[in-house]
Amino acid sequence: MKVNIDFHYSDFWADPKRQTAPKAWQGMGIEEKTQALYDFTTESLEEILKAGVNVGMVQIGNEINYGLAGETKILNIMKLLRSASSAVREVSKKVKKDIKIAVHYTQITDAKGIDRAAATLENMKVDYDVFGLSYYPFWDGDFENVQNVVKMIKEDFGKDVMIAETSYCYTSQDGDGSGNSVSGTDDIVDG
């Protein structure tokens, strides 16, 4: 089975609310951080491959709509993505293995925002293969919208698309004793 390695480039979860740089990168300027990200990606991927993991794809960042590794300026984010992509391509070539590169965005209900993100990646020459999306039906709307966004990315930008993150509520019953994050039956997805 092939594995997707998802680099968050953070010491904790990276998501729409948090894109904190690792502590080791705190206080770095963008050039130094770009090199640190490149080195981390290269070294980590080489170690993972050396351990025998069948890496089929590397996701460079997690839900990066609003930042990456503590950076929020779009030019800096694109610089980091190009650095990460370059590292994956170089390791892939070195080990003679086809490793796909994925970027990962959220807010799928904002089709114009997703279109803008894909256009920015293209205009800023970020090298990637797969456009990943988060889809949580209780936040992100119906499946028809998902289909429209996926179709737009494939047709307008020629990229493969994957749902990189998802979940759905099918019951309001407590199944693990930890309490539920759903507010009741309104969050349950039909079917």
Amino acid residing at 92: S
Q: What is the DSSP letter of 190?
A: P
Confirm if 150 and 119 have CB atoms less than 8 A apart. no
Give the residue among 96, 171, 97, 162 at the shortest CA–CA distance from 129: 162
Q: What is the DSSP letter of 25?
A: G
Nearest-angstrom CA–CA distance, 127 and 104 = 13
Q: Which residues are catalytic?
A: 63, 165
Nearest-angstrom CA–CA distance, 160 and 151 = 10
